[in-house]
Each structure stands twice: as C-alpha cells, then as structure tokens.
Chains A and B, each alone.
Chain A
C-alpha cells in the first residue's frame, strides 16, 4: 500500500523566513503534485513534477523531486502572510485505466506578521 508522509504537519513561521516542507512516498510514482488548500476551499494545483530532478518555481514557492529517494520538497522563500494555507503533496499512480492520487497528511502553514 502506498504511503505518503509529509512533515512537518504544522508550521508557524515569520514573514521573511525560509522553510522547506518534505514529502516522502513509499513506491515508484508516475507524477507528484503539490496542492494548496485554503480553509473550506478546494484544492489548487501548484506544481506537477514528472521526472527525477524536476524543479519548478512559482513566486516564492519552489518544488523539487528526487525519485530515487522518493522525496519531494516544497521550499518557501521569504514567506508572506498570503502563503498561509494547508499544502498537500499527492502521488499519482496510473492504474492502467485512470490515475489515482494518494495524498499526504498535509502541512498547515501559518505565516505570522
């Protein structure tokens, strides 16, 4: 059974600081996603990582993938309050007829002023 673990589960950081969220998964994957979720809202896709060594950046967020280590990271640079949300990684396994996302536990990020 595929296991996807994130850490930390909760992260409180000050504006302007840097931090990294980690996502470990237990089996080979076809794709890895990072999503953002605001309270009571849906899942907003941030990044799709397709291959080993993939790195993607958007604004203050940068995601990377190491398929050999089965590890993805989401790095936050110079955090701002607007980044406060819950971040999920999700591993995509293509089953032959459809994909199936297995989500991590989520990291609740709180950026304080």
Chain B
C-alpha cells in the first residue's frame, strides 16, 4: 500500500540554524500539506500546496518557513532560522480528492 515517507525521523539543531524536512508524498496525489504538533498538544495546520504553489497557510507559517517541490517527488519544508519554539513533530500529508494520508513525522528538536 502506498504511503507517505519522511526523512529524517529525528533532527536536532541549534537555534538560528536552517533545517530542511523532507517528504515523499503518495505518487498520484496532487495536494500536499505540512502540519505540526508541539509535544502533548493538538495537531496544527501549517500550509497546503497544489499545482506548485501555496494554496493556504496558517499564521504559524511566517517568513521563516518555506515549502518546495524541487523534483516532482519530494516535498520539503524549510525553516530558515530555527527558534526554540519550533521544536515539534512535523507531519507531511498528501491527498488526492479524498482524505489526507499522513507520514510518520519528523521530530525537530531545537537546542
């Protein structure tokens, strides 16, 4: 069964450093998403991406964040200058016309 994959599973970085989180969505899906979950809290929408551009973004998704689909299979989330409060689990998801399927997540720890 096709699934969304994410790398790395865990990323540790120093405050102020740039990180890139990678996702490979399900191959015939057209819509891609990033969500995040701070430890012990609910899952929050960050951004949706369709037809090579951002469809919608939340208030969390400020200028420090960017997304890209560089090569037709990968979907990346970049955080330019990480802050302590960016520490969270980041989930990639993809969908066709139906439900979204979530990847296993990348745990980002900012020290």
Q: Which residues of A contact B (CB under 8 A)?
A: 31, 33, 40-43, 45, 48, 88, 90, 92, 95, 97-106
Distance in angstroms from A103 CB to nearest chain B CB is 4
Question: Is B33 close to A, CB under 8 A?
Answer: yes
**Contacts A97-B56, A98-B33, A106-B42; A42 near B102 (Cβ below 8 A):** yes
Q: A41-B104, A42-B103 are in contact. Are A102 and B45 (CB under 8 A)?
A: yes
On chain A, the residues within 8 Å of B42 by CB distance are 88, 103-106
Q: Contact: A98 with B50, CB < 8 Å?
A: yes
Additional A-B contacts beyond A42-B103, A95-B48, A98-B95 (13; CB < 8 A): A42-B104, A45-B99, A48-B98, A48-B99, A92-B99, A97-B48, A98-B48, A99-B48, A99-B95, A100-B33, A100-B56, A101-B35, A101-B43
Number of residue pairs across A and B with beta carbons under 8 Å? 58
10 A-B pairs in the complex with CB atoms less than 8 angstroms apart: A31-B99, A41-B105, A45-B102, A48-B98, A90-B43, A95-B56, A99-B31, A100-B48, A101-B33, A105-B42
| CB-contacts of B3-55 with A (<8 A) | 31, 33, 35, 42-45, 48-51, 55
B81 within 8 A of A: no
B46 to chain A, nearest CB (A): 10
Give the residue among A31, A48, A103 with the most B Cβ atoms within 10 A.
Answer: A103
